[in-house]
Structure 1
Amino acid sequence: MLHKYGTPAFRLEAYLLEVASYLGVHASFIATPTSITFVIWSDKHEDEYNHAARLQPGDLDMSALSLTDELANELLSGKVSLSDADMRLDKINEMPSPYGKVITGFAFALATGSFSMLMGASVPEILWTGLLGFVSYLWVLWAQKSKRVNLMLEPVTSFMAGILACAISRYFDPGINIPLMVLSSVIILVPGLALTMGLAELSSRNLVSGTARIMDAIMQLFKLYFGAFLGVAVGFSIFGQNQFEPAASLPYWATWLAVGLLCFALVPIFRTRIKHIPWALMSAFIAYGVTVYSSIYMDQTFGTFIGAFALGVFANVFTRIANQPSTIVAMHGLIVLVPGSKTYIGLNSFISGQDFVQADHVGQEVFLIFMSLVAGLIFANVVMPTKKAL
């Protein structure tokens, strides 16, 4: 169940070992993004049980993760029996999103529009991007009911976003920044977070899981870019070429508003529980604010390290106070810090030789920022260690 909710392999293995130790069971676990292997044995190995489960890569579900963690705590404290815990796990597994489809759809629109605001888009581009983000959510809904659509979700979503952006440029708003709008409309699907989790697993010497997660994220990125590239090419052939005319960007204070709106929009998307919303908002502002002000006095890469360090300390403080997994609030801050968009921009620059936003040395910058993120979180766990495996 924890694997299903997007828990990194090293934390999942540590958590399972805690439960096994409490139950007095000799056990070993190997977790990867697509499988878990269980080995349980008696004191002198008279009896041994082996089980390998083939699983799909997990999705982030902060509500189910929180409820599962609370259930595990009740089990470890003796408040519920194993049979009762097993029944409640089934209920958590079948539980729908606490926010519903309509609110989640508006959250997609708000998140994509907020991200385009962070990238310096104009007001019309922000509104159009929000509309494209809502269309992307319709594809996500379809993918939940169709295995075929789920397999092609990334390329078909970016493909349709590219065609629709070209149509908007032709009939409604000529001069818009089409590549920026396409990127922003699919930003929820850009696997920057998965890349960071993969690097964190590699740094913890979970080599198989980390390598698998990174390769999966790279393939998702390629599929997104191919769909966007093809969609824009088809759109240009149907509606004609677009001549980008830079419009006036919003003032600097709008970036802080964008951070708040983006984090607030992630609440329904991540299914964060209502009682954790203030913590999630604080994590985003702490991560972004510390990074911005640190970058004034030092290199941006080191500023990202300081921001990730502050985020890690805050997430571990949240764990000590609320007795909940640090992942619940850390994910919101990481979305602000993770340079998934810069990875996409770098891929666009590498293939087409063109930049749709100002981004010098983007490839080197992306690598250094990823390393700074991982290092900051590791240092935070040393300075302010968490008492929970998650």
Structure 2
Amino acid sequence: MHKSEFAQIRKFILKLGKMLHKYGSPSFRLEAYLSEIATYFGLHASFISTPTSLTIVLWSDRHEDEYNHSVRIQPGELDMNSLSLTDELAYQLLSGEIELEEASQRLDEIDSTPSPYNKSITGVAFGLSTSAFAMLMGAGWPEIACSGLLGLMVYFWTLWAQKSKRVNLMLEPVASFSVGFLACAICYYFSSGFNVWLIILSSLIILVPGLSLTMGLAELSSRNLVSGTARVMDAIMQLFKLYFGAFLGISLGYHIFGQQELQAADTLPLWVNWLGVLMLSTGLVAIFRTRLKHVPWAVASTFIAYGASTLSSAYLENGLGAFMGAFALGVFSNLFSRIANAPSTIVAMHGLIVLVPGSKTYIGLNSFISGQDFIKADHIGQETFLILMSLVAGLIFANVVMPTKKAL
């Protein structure tokens, strides 16, 4: 291989790896995908990906050319639009439809592509998602509306964090503090007996790192020990920061407005849960920046995951219904990958949101520190652990029954 050709290939692989990391690809999927690309170009490769770093080693058959690159990068955020476009570009390159130089230029264009949904739509998506989660948690209509409004305020903080490094560093505690304090104020001025902690949890659900925790355990199960450990610890620290901010905000709110007695909300009809799933899946489309052509698949994945988990829970105890939900979701997302020729991650992440036990971890943390249970939940720690293990096992079994077409 000529040195100029080797240099062009390594530049493309390096750029591709950084972009896929930026779009929130799990380490084991990112490394497998880059290995496939390197093999196509006739190179030997070794990749090490963690949430904050990427190491790439490339060499030719007889080691005439070697290249090592290690870079420290920020943890990526889920961007299904850019992930899909990048995968399509790589497929066109591997199928010979475009040349390497053109592919490298188009990678730069994809990297600068804005979200297909503007800020107003994304803000509405935050409000929809937080209200939907309150529905799924059994809140009353006033609490559902309050969660949606406070969810819009959380979106305001995320926008500010994108423009300010200082706000970005303290996003979780300052957002949860604001939500906690305002929830107490709303309870004092407009109604008494709101379940304040439930409103806080619903309003912050987009920031609760349940998905990161599940991804970290999936990486650990695939023997990506460094990346998995780092991601799990990062998720735990985010959870601690969220809880501390909320605890501080609600403590100040109780001091100023007085502590209100929690009252159980009126039981809503069963169809409200399915409405919540629809609202949540719709909101996640904009939050995850899903392409329009993948929206029906993404919405369907949330219904399949929630439906399989809910129906099987009547027959399986101790949170094992999550195993069936994850299994059904895994089979569906891998089937999507085969039919649509796109990464299964695009629809899998939507469905996982309704299954991950991030909220239960938050509830357990509150019970441990304050001694209060703001919803009825027995053995919350055991159930959270079982759900996490069930999710990972369900996805592994699904990959055996219906293997994915793509590494991503």
Structure 2 match to 1:44: 62
Give the Å deviation of 1:237. 1.1
Cα distance in 1 for residues equivalent to 2:283 and 2:308 = 21
TM-score after normalising by structure 1? 0.99
2:68 is paired with a residue whose SS is strand
- Number of the residue aligned with 2:146: 128
The residue type paired with residue 168 of structure 1 is I
Deviates more, 1:1-10 or 1:295-304: 295-304
| Of 222, 225, 228, the match for 1:207 | 225
**Alpha-carbon offset, residue 25 of structure 1:** 1.2
- Number of residue pairs aligned between Structure 1 and Structure 2: 390
Q: CA deviation at 1:249?
A: 2.7
Residue from 380, 383, 386 that aligns with 1:368: 386
SS at structure 1 position matched to 2:206: helix
Once residues 322 and 265 of structure 2 are traced to their aligned partners in structure 1, the CA distance between those partners, rounded to angstroms, is 29
Question: 1:82 Cα deviation (Å)?
Answer: 1.7
**Alignment match, 2:340:** 322
Residue in structure 2 matched with residue 98 of structure 1 by the alignment: 116
Aligned counterparts of 2:323 and 2:263: Cα–Cα separation in 1 = 35
2:370 corresponds to? 352
Q: CA deviation at 1:322?
A: 0.1
Q: 1:229 aligns with which of 220, 224, 247?
A: 247
**1:144 counterpart = 2:180:** no
CA-to-partner distance for each residue in 1:79-128, whole Å, 9 max, x for gaps? 11222112111111111111100000010001000100110110011001
Q: CA deviation at 1:300?
A: 4.4
Corresponding letter in the other structure for 1:22: Y
Match of 2:5 in 1: none
Q: Distance in 2 between matches of 1:203 and 1:246?
A: 40
CA distance in structure 2 between the aligned counterparts of 1:141 and 1:155, rounded to whole angstroms: 15
Structure 2 counterpart of 1:308, one-letter code: A
Question: In the alignment, residue 270 of structure 1 is paired with which amino acid?
Answer: F
Q: Does the residue aligned with 2:393 lie in a helix, a strand or coil?
A: helix
Q: Secondary structure at the match of 1:38?
A: strand
Would you say the 8 A contact 2:138–2:265 is kept in 1?
no
Q: Which residue of 1 aligns with 2:50?
A: 32
Is 2:300 the partner of 1:282? yes
Offset at 1:236? Answer: 1.0
Instruction: Report the alpha carbon displacement of residue 306 of structure 1 after superposing the two structures with TM.
Output: 1.1
Partner-residue secondary structure (3-state), 1:208: helix
How far apart are residue 247 of structure 1 and its match? Answer: 2.8
**Please, which of 323, 333, 339 is the counterpart of residue 351 of structure 2?**
333
- Which secondary structure does the structure 1 equivalent of 2:58 belong to? strand
1:108 paired residue among 126, 131, 139: 126
1:267 and 2:285 matched: yes
What displacement does 1:176 show? 0.7
Alignment partners' CA distance in 1, 2:114 and 2:200: 29
* CA-CA distance at 1:353 after TM superposition: 1.1
The residue number in structure 2 matching 1:88 is 106
Secondary structure class of the residue paired with 1:29: strand
Any unmatched runs of 5+ in structure 2?
Answer: 1-18
Find the residue that maps to 1:43 and give its secondary structure.
Answer: coil
Query: Which residue is 1:74 aligned to?
Result: 92
2:73 is aligned, of 55, 77, 81, to 55
- Corresponding residue to 1:8 among 26, 32, 57: 26
Q: Distance in 1 between matches of 2:265 and 2:399?
A: 44
SS in 2 for 1:52: strand
- Is it true that 1:191 corresponds to 2:212 in the alignment? no
Tell me which amino acid in the other structure corresponds to 1:342.
K
DSSP 3-state at the match of 2:354: helix
| Aligned-residue offset at 1:253 | 1.4
Shift of residue 340, structure 1, vs aligned partner: 0.7
Residue number in structure 1 paired with 2:186: 168
Greater shift in the superposed pair: 303-312 or 38-47: 38-47
* Counterpart residue identity of residue 41, structure 1: W
TM-score normalised to the size of structure 2? 0.94
Q: Distance in 2 between matches of 1:25 and 1:367?
A: 41
Asked if the contact 2:51/2:75 (under 8 Å) is kept, the reply is yes
The 2-side partners of 1:143 and 1:59 are apart by: 14
Tell me, in whole angstroms, the C-alpha distance in 1 between the residues paired with 2:205 and 2:125.
13
Structure 1 counterpart of 2:347, which letter? V
Contact 2:23/2:83 (CA < 8 Å) preserved in 1? yes
| Counterpart-to-counterpart distance in 2, 1:169 and 1:386 | 49
CA distance in 2, matches of 1:288, 1:78: 40
**Separation (CA, whole Å) in 2 of partners of 1:202 and 1:40:** 25
Q: 1:389: which partner in 2?
A: 407
**Which sections of structure 1, spanning at least 5 residues, go unmatched?**
none
